[in-house]
Amino acid sequence: DTEVTQTPKHLVMGMTNKKSLKCEQHMGHRAMYWYKQKAKKPPELMFVYSYEKLSINESVPSRFSPECPNSSLLNLHLHALQPEDSALYLCASSQVGTGNSPLHFGNGTRLTVT
């Protein structure tokens, strides 16, 4: 069983919809991440939160809006997405340290934009 829980597992949304992806971890990690993974490609970093503050934004379009309400929760708010945004969205968490802390991934939300 994964220790990082993502909901929903699947999401289909139209280009005018607003939806949110949710991620939860209870490992006491203070760094949380959103990655986007297209089919047959490696994960690409989108956002990093450290101690509930946004520390990295990889020039992600504003139609993706992250939120970290507390140390256990991470949300990704979606609005006016494009079909090319269809992908597997992975959440991860880790300790904040010297760079050798492994990331723990959830099983992802498979998003389809119609």
CA distances from 80 to 16, 31, 59, 65, 97 (A): 5, 28, 17, 11, 36
Residues that contact another protein, how many (by CB under 8 A): 31
Residue 60 CB contacts under 8 Å (≥ 6 apart), including other chains? 46, 47
Among 20, 50, 71, 72, binds another protein (CB under 8 A): 50
106 is an interface residue for another protein by CB under 8 A: yes
Q: Which is nearer to another protein, 90 or 111 (CB)?
A: 90
* Site residues for another protein per CB under 8 A: 2, 4, 6, 31, 40-43, 45, 48-50, 55-56, 90, 92, 94, 96-108, 110
